[in-house]
Structure 1
C-alpha cells in the first residue's frame, strides 16, 4: 500500500484558475477622459454664479457637493474604470 503523503500529487489542469488582476482590470469600463468631469464643474459654476444673488447659500452647497464629488470620483476611477492608455511623448515639453 502506497502512502499518499510521500507521493507527489498530480496537477489537475481542468480546474479553473483564479483570474489574473490584468484580466479583471480589462473587464472594467474604458477610460474616456476627464471632459465629463470638467463639464460638471463648469455647469455647477455657472448655476452658482447665476443664482448666488437669489440664494446666498449656493456657494456653500456647491463646496459641499464638490468635496463629496471628489471622493466619489476617486472611488470610481479606482474601482470602475480602466487605467488610461499611455501615450509616448517626444520630450518633456520644454
Structure 2
C-alpha cells in the first residue's frame, strides 16, 4: 500500500474506508488467534492491484499471546510505534 500511496499521492475516501476496513478485519482475525503483529505500517500492508484487496505481512516482530496475556518492550518501526509503547506500557 505504501508504494501505491507514494505513486498516487492520495486515496479517495471510499478507497481509504475500504483499506481501513480490510486492515481492521485482518487484525481482528489475527487477534482472535492470539497473533500480534507489532509492526503495522503502510510498508507491511500488501495491496492486490487487480481488486484492491489488502493483506497484512511481515510478522517477524510478532508474538503469540494467550487470552489475557500482554507483552511489553519497544518493538516495531520507530516512526510508527504507538506512544504508549514508547512510554513502556504493556500491551
**Which protein, 1 or 2, shows the higher relative CO under an 8 Å CA cutoff with sep ≥ 6?**
1
TM-score, structure 2 normalization: 0.28
> Normalising by structure 1, what TM-score?
0.27
More strand by share: 2
